[in-house]
Amino acid sequence: MKLGVSGFAWTANFEERHLSLLPNIRAMGFAGLELPMFDPATLPATAIRRAFEANELECTFCSILPAGINPISPEHTVRQRSRDHLVRCIETAAEMGAHLLGGPLFAPIGYLPAHRPTEDEWCWAVELFQCVGELLETNDITLSIEPVNRSETFFLRTAAEAGKLCTAIANPRIGVTIDTFHANIEEKNIPTAIESLGAQLKHIHLSENDRGLLGSGHVDFPAILRSLQRIEYSGYLMIEGFGYLSSEPLAPGALWADPAVSPDMIAQRGISYLKAQIQHA
């Protein structure tokens, strides 16, 4: 298992100026840094690729669908636009040397129509992910679909739902990201949920119940690590916590992260905690 940290600790809007973070992230001992991807065109792709290569860091991406993009929209033109968006995300991720594109790729965060998922929406999601199969193969990219909790989506909230979707898609390059913050809300037993996925689990976001410092809350990371070992998971342990930085008013943690917890602390204390837990697991 490889250790990584999400750029969400610092910002949701990763810009060239954030590349100065890379040497310190590498020095902390991380193998990978995950970047938020909204509109791929806004990312400085060449600068990012060069900086990751220079710092011997692997890049993964967490895609959050921007306004106007919704693969399960009832409007055909929106679904077409969303397919084109996913193609651009995959191509841009490949351009930056990434081999994993994850996130809640099925619908925009906060898209909460007052109904349960419909047969049509399910088919639209399956078709969308099936239609990029060849592109994933050509670019050697794994797509990792992340179920998120009911405050962010109505469509895919649990490992069981995400596993069922991936079974329907039937592409070994397409699997599931489990985020322990979301799983702490939606799963009755996180280790059982993880083990139920087996090889479908492609990525994991290790996130505390309050998205703060790992080990400071009530998520049972030792049990989660043991379940990952039982399914011989070999992907990233990606720390996804949100720190507080007064200079980043648009950061995910700006409104509710503990002001005493900086992004660097999320990363440094997180990797120290994980290394200690892995040793004990």
Residue ranges that bind Mn ion, judged by CB under 5 A: 179, 205, 240
Looking at 67-75, 91-99, 145-153, 166-174, which segment touches ligand LER (CB under 6 A)? 145-153
- Site pattern 168..207 for ligand LER (x: CB under 6 A): -----------x-------------------------x--
17 C-beta neighbours (distance < 10 Å), count: 9
Distance CA 96, CA 156 (A): 28
Structure-token match 């994993």, residue found: 100
Q: Binding partner of residue 54 among ligand LER, Mn ion, none, CB under 5 to 8 Å per kind? A: none
Least Å distance, CB 261 to ligand LER, is: 17
Whole-number minimum distance, CB 3 to Mn ion, in Å?
Answer: 16
Q: What is the Cα 186 distance to its own chain's centre? A: 17
Question: Which residue from 50, 55, 62 is spatially nearest to 93, judged by alpha carbons?
Answer: 62
- 208: partner contacted, choices Mn ion, ligand LER, none (Cβ within 5-8 A by kind): none
Is residue 175 within 8 A of residue 166, CB to CB? The reply is: yes
Q: Which of 21, 37, 62, 245 binds ligand LER (CB under 6 A)?
A: 62
- Answer for which of 146, 186, 187, 210 binds ligand LER (CB under 6 A) is 146
Nearer to Mn ion, 27 or 109 (CB): 109
Quick one: 51 or 103, whose CB is closer to Mn ion?
A: 103
> What is the four-CA torsion angle of 237, 243, 247, 249, rounded to 10 degrees?
100
The DSSP code for 128 is H
The least distance separating Mn ion from the CB of residue 117, rounded to whole angstroms, comes to: 20
What distance in Å separates the CA atoms of residue 278 and residue 229, rounded to the nearest whole number? 10
Does residue 94 interact with ligand LER by CB under 6 A?
Answer: no
Distance CA 195, CA 226 (A): 10
| Cβ-based nearer residue to Mn ion, 51 or 181 | 181
Closest to ligand LER by CB, 103 vs 191, is 103
**Shortest distance, position 134 Cβ to ligand LER, whole Å:** 26
- CB-wise, 109 or 131, nearer to ligand LER? 109
Token pair 């993009």 is found at 69
Comparison of 79 and 210: residue with beta carbon closer to Mn ion: 210
The CB-of-137 to Mn ion minimum distance in angstroms stands at: 25
Q: What is the 3-state secondary structure (H, E, C) of 195-213?
A: HHHHHHEEEEEECCCCCCC
Tell me how far CA of residue 242 lies from CA of 38, 68, 127, in angstroms: 17, 26, 33
- Determine contact, residues 64/104, Cβ cutoff 8 Å: yes
Nearest distance, CB of residue 162 and ligand LER, angstroms: 13
Q: What is the dihedral of CA 203, 206, 209, 213, to 10 degrees?
A: -160
**Footprint of ligand LER (CB under 6 A):** 62, 64, 103, 109, 146, 148, 152, 179, 205, 240
